[in-house]
């Protein structure tokens, strides 16, 4: 495996077999001009998507334990301290 740093990114030269139909479709949909650009874009989008999923799962877990009624009482008390 050969690694080089281009434009502050680590680049690894790797030989892989790709599904040509899937690659062609991805190039068409993304507007990418090269196979390399298409694969790099797909990898970044995959990582971004799964990072967002992890974030949503973390927020959902926090929301399960959230006491809305308690929050609402505190908020109302802060907004109307004379009540």
Nearest to 30 by CA among 46, 10, 50, 54: 46
pLDDT recorded at residue 12 = 84
Q: What are the residue boundaries of the structural domains of the chain, listed by start?
A: 20-65
| Beta strand residue intervals within 1-83, DSSP E | 2-6, 9-13
pLDDT recorded at residue 8 = 64
Can you say how many angstroms the Cα of residue 27 is from the centroid of all Cα atoms in its chain? 20
Q: Confirm whether pTM is higher than 0.85.
A: no
The pLDDT profile of the chain, 83 residues, written as one tens digit per residue, is: 455 555 667 788 889 999 999 999 999 999 999 999 999 999 999 999 999 999 999 999 888 888 889 889 999 999 887 75
DSSP state of 35: H
């Amino acid at each position: 495996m050969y690694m080089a740093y281009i434009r502050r990114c680590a680049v690894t030269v790797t030989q892989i077999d790709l599904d040509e139909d899937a690659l062609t479709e991805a190039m068409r949909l993304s507007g990418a001009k090269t196979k390399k650009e298409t694969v790099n874009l797909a990898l970044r989008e995959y990582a971004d998507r799964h990072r967002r999923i992890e974030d949503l799962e973390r927020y959902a877990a926090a929301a399960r334990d959230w006491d809305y009624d308690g929050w609402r009482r505190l908020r109302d008390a802060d907004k109307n301290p004379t009540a």
